[in-house]
Chains A and B, each alone.
Chain A
Amino acid sequence: MIGIIDYGAGNLGSVLKAFSSIGAGCRVLQKAEKTDTLKRLVLPGVGAFCCCIDNLKSNGFDEMVFDWLRRGRPYLGICLGMQVLFEGSEESPAAKGFGIFRGKAIRFCQNKVPQMGWNRVKRAGWSKLMYDIADNSFFYFLHAYYVPLPGSGTATGISDYGVEYTSVIEKDNICAVQFHPEKSGRTGLRMLKNWVDLC
């Protein structure tokens, strides 16, 4: 069973429908709970970094997620759900991320911001999420802040929006993507299926 954290992110419904369409059983979590019945955890995300952290805290999710990550259990972060794995974000300097990966998110200063649309993901190492997906495939992005490359180290996918940045990151079973697989057509569904099958 996949637990999808509901902290008010706008894309929750789409994420749920996408998992259903690939036949993966999932359940929406409204507040922190014992994780024994869950095999996987998804943190979707659209919105501001500090709102995400605050909302997670107010429902007790912060401890639950941190514990989950510490034990290296299967996790998928989407968009903001990826950025919170880092140490922080320029968007909300006071809010701290989970710090699983080094580095912090900063704002795009090139092109139109937010980046909204289909961009390529270039492979940067062996990737479970991108298994059997053609290199340089397009995914749907929607974000104003990005995680620069040098800080991340473990980026397995890189995209370019005037500057190269982390679009996929994986460390054992902890996976995260900057794009929205739930809105990336069949390629996105394939990526979700890879996560379910391989992590």
Chain B
Amino acid sequence: MLAIRVIPCLDIDEGRVVKGVKFKELKDAGDPVELARRYDDQGADEITFLDIGASYKSRDILIETLKRVSRAIFIPLTVGGGLRDLQDMKKVLDAGADKVAICTRAIQEPDLISRAARAFGSQCIVVSIDAKRHGNSWHAYTHGGRNDSGIDAVQWAEQATMAGAGEILLNSIDMDGTNQGYDLELTRLVSTMVSVPVIASGGAGRLEQIAEAVIKGKADAVLLASLLHYRRLTIEEIKSYLEKRGVVVRW
């Protein structure tokens, strides 16, 4: 039985960790290597870096950061943000990433998913979906949640998986940074639809909500940012609580 993964997400801009609310209002939240170390000590099962700056300068700094992190920490590392082609992916994989996450580019060029899966293996390719509710369905957004692609997010998850995505990182734009809880309906729909692991993201504020994402939302992993960065909860507290609710966690 696999343990449910607790994954801290570090949004990186020019070498610093930042955190926004509803994808806006960025605040400085610390040094990536220092934070990654702290989360590893607390028992993080994996760490995700999202380069939200995604300028060339920001990317170069991220590569250096990754090299430092991967020499110090021996758990899986995922990197996303502005990866445009196989070459960009190879660069971060060579620097120490185990998986790459693509969002906007995957929607613009769905063929990139299958090419990346062939080049690096499906296990390496995470398709990140920024979903926002439109009535009874959700649309997948691009460009850090700014543009509506008009594509149905649930169908997109299925299509991406068929193309070779090894994992879906599902972000709710509506809930991001609100501490109001995950979008359980969306998480559950996608989790039961696709045959690959689903990481729930966006909205965690309390322990109960994290457990709900797993128990009700059927998520295989939870991604957390502000809750951890501002030390409102530790990974140990989260895992202890999940365990009390009958969820298998790694110690």
Query: B-contacting residues of A (Cβ < 8 Å)?
Result: 10-11, 13-14, 17-18, 20-21, 46-47, 111-120, 138, 140, 142, 160-161, 182-186, 188-189
Contact = CB atoms under 8 A, between A and B. Distances in A.
Given A114-B166, A120-B1, A142-B123, 18 more contacts: A10-B124, A14-B70, A17-B70, A17-B71, A20-B71, A21-B74, A46-B121, A111-B2, A114-B123, A116-B197, A117-B45, A117-B197, A118-B250, A119-B1, A160-B1, A185-B40, A185-B75, A186-B74
Contact of B74 (A116, A118, A142, A184): A184
Interface residues of B, number: 30
A160 B248 CA distance: 13
Q: Which of A46, A47, A114, A140 has the most CB atoms of chain B within a 10 A radius of its CB? A: A140
A115 B2 contact: yes
Interface in B70-116: 70-72, 74-76, 93-94, 96, 98
Contact of B2 (A20, A113, A117): A117
B120 interface: yes
B96 A112 contact: no
Give the 9 A-B CB pairs with smallest separation, nearest first. A138-B250, A117-B2, A118-B3, A118-B250, A185-B75, A183-B76, A142-B123, A17-B71, A119-B2
B93 A10 contact: yes
Interface in B120-179: 120-124, 166-167
B179 to A, nearest CB: 27
A118 B98 contact: no
Nearest to A11: B98
Nearest to B221: A117
B123 A140 contact: no
B183 interface: no
B195 A112 contact: yes
B196 interface: yes
Main secondary structure, interface of B, reads: loop
B162 to A, nearest CB: 14
Contacts of A161: 1-2
A18 B220 contact: no
A57 B98 CA distance: 26
Contacts of B96: 13-14, 17
A161 B193 CA distance: 20
